Copies of this chain bind each other. A is one copy, B any other.
Amino acid sequence: MNAGRTARERARAEVTREITEIARRQLGTEGAGGLNLRAIARELGMVSSAVYRYFPSRDDLLTALIIDAYNAVGEAVERADVACEPEDHAGRWRAVCHAVRDWALAHPHEYALIYGSPVPGYQAPVDTVAPAMRDTVVYGRILASAYAAGALAPPDGFPAPPDSFAGDAEAVRQVMPGLPDDLVARAIAAWTGLFGFLSFEVFGQFANVVDDRAALFDHTVDTLGRLAGLPAPARG
């Protein structure tokens, strides 16, 4: 990942970096569909065909941007998590949610790239699955840690998952070890709920409906965390 030995290798890495940087800026202003190899080449002072030396196709550039985006959220989430008291599970959950939201609002097009409609005709290669898991892994760690500490006390009155869910729960437990099936199901509901809210917000579904989205988000995060079993927030 760091500087290669030969001058050629270093130059190549530098140009590659510049291309993704310009592409990311293009993505921010035009969206995924507006990714334009020729415009990137123009901005670099190169001819379009030269860009193909670095990315064999537009989709490969997109893949690089997708991986970057996953890593950006993942890193933001990881940083927000470790900044918390390890035993303050509700605080960690809140920090993670806000990290995702802050990043999503700052980079709506990149959020759309990874959590919105898949790019037509584009099939995510395997290289993307590890970065795509980073935020989920953090989330799972929080819940597993809370459960291990006996701090997961889900509210009563909710139905239990069907027995047929046992298999999937076992798979999901890879990222949140120890949780019983019903808590796994709730964890998924809370997680998808988070992104449901954010998609509504980023994609403009709240326009003319909800004004103070930050306040509603705060409260929704608390509600979802509570649903997953995390303790209720101390604040008012």
Residues of A within 8 A of B (CB): 30-34, 109, 112-113, 115-121, 124, 129, 155-159, 161-162, 164-165, 167-168, 171-172, 185-186, 188-189, 192-197, 199-200, 203-205, 208-212, 215-216, 218-220, 222-224, 226-227, 232-233, 236
Contacts and interface: CB of A to CB of B under 8 A. Distances in A.
A163 to B, nearest CB: 9
Contact of A172 (B156, B197, B209): B209
Nearest to A35: B120
Given A117-B203, A129-B208, A155-B157, 16 more contacts: A31-B119, A116-B203, A118-B203, A158-B226, A158-B227, A158-B232, A162-B215, A164-B212, A165-B212, A167-B212, A172-B209, A172-B210, A185-B220, A192-B197, A193-B193, A194-B196
Nearest to A132: B205
A220 B236 CA distance: 28
A195 B200 contact: yes
